[in-house]
Amino acid sequence: MANVEQYRQLVQTLLLEYSNIKANNEEVEAEAIFDVERDRYQVVHVGWSNKHRVYGCILHVDIKDGKIWIQHDGTEGGIANELVEQGVPKHDIVLAFHSPFKRQFTEFAVG
């Protein structure tokens, strides 16, 4: 198992990159939210579009028991693939947005 501190740094770096992507609507911001004490990390969209409130989670990643748990992934390519490209072994990535039963059929950790 790799150093959890390395996972923290990698997750924060990737989420900051996602938060820097500008939306088509300049009144909507992407915010990176990091709870480093509890190892919870999110990117959310916040703002207004055509007089309608915009608020929603784009990415939610936790680090638990030495593994990266992807709770929600609203990206096109998938952050799990980016983590693998950065050297994180698939057995240290949990696709938590899949049911525990379904996880056994993925290439990633079950929990």
**Overall average pLDDT of the 50-69 stretch:** 95
pLDDT in tens, 19-53: 998 767 678 999 999 999 999 999 999 999 889 99
Q: Phi-psi bin for 31: left (phi > 0), alpha (psi -120 to 50), beta?
A: beta
Tell me the pTM.
0.91
pLDDT at residue 1, rounded to an integer:
47
Query: pLDDT-based confidence at 2, cuts 50/70/90?
Result: low
Under 8 Å CB-to-CB from 27, ≥6 apart: which residues?
47, 48, 49
